[in-house]
Amino acid sequence: MNETMLLISFEELCQSAHIKQEFIVEIVDYGIAKPVSGEKTNEWVFDTGSVKWLKKAINLHLELEMDWFAVAMIIELLKQKEALKTENQYLRQRLER
């Protein structure tokens, strides 16, 4: 399976998603999202798929007043759930053949 990865710069991410730079830096520090390239903050480039997780992390942090460590744990569990769901769908499709 060949997937195309769409990329977004740190600055574009902040502007398009209306996310403060400080939040993105903290989210990266806690491993919730990882830049695909770039050494310095202003050089970071993200996969556009990570935008969804960034927004969820910020919502958990602000709306539920959770600390970043708890947010990181929840996001990791949500990512695992999504991966298992995708794998389950794939296996069901194979069984139906």
Query: Per residue of the chain (97 residues), what is the pLDDT tens digit?
Result: 456 778 999 999 888 878 889 989 999 999 988 999 999 998 999 998 888 888 899 999 999 999 999 999 999 999 999 999 999 999 999 999 8
Number of domains within the chain: 1
CA atoms within a 13 Å half-sphere pointing along the CA-CB vector of 51: 19
Q: CA-to-CA distance for 79 and 72, rounded, in angstroms?
A: 11
| 1 found inside a domain | no
- Name the 3-class secondary structure at 58: helix
* pTM score of the predicted model: 0.80
For position 54, which CATH number holds? 1.10.1660.10
Which residue range(s) make up the domain with 20? 7-96
Element (H, E) at 46: strand 45-47
| 2 found inside a domain | no
Q: CA-to-CA distance for 46 and 33, rounded, in angstroms?
A: 8
- Terminal Cα-to-Cα distance of the chain (whole angstroms): 19
- Name the 3-class secondary structure at 20: coil
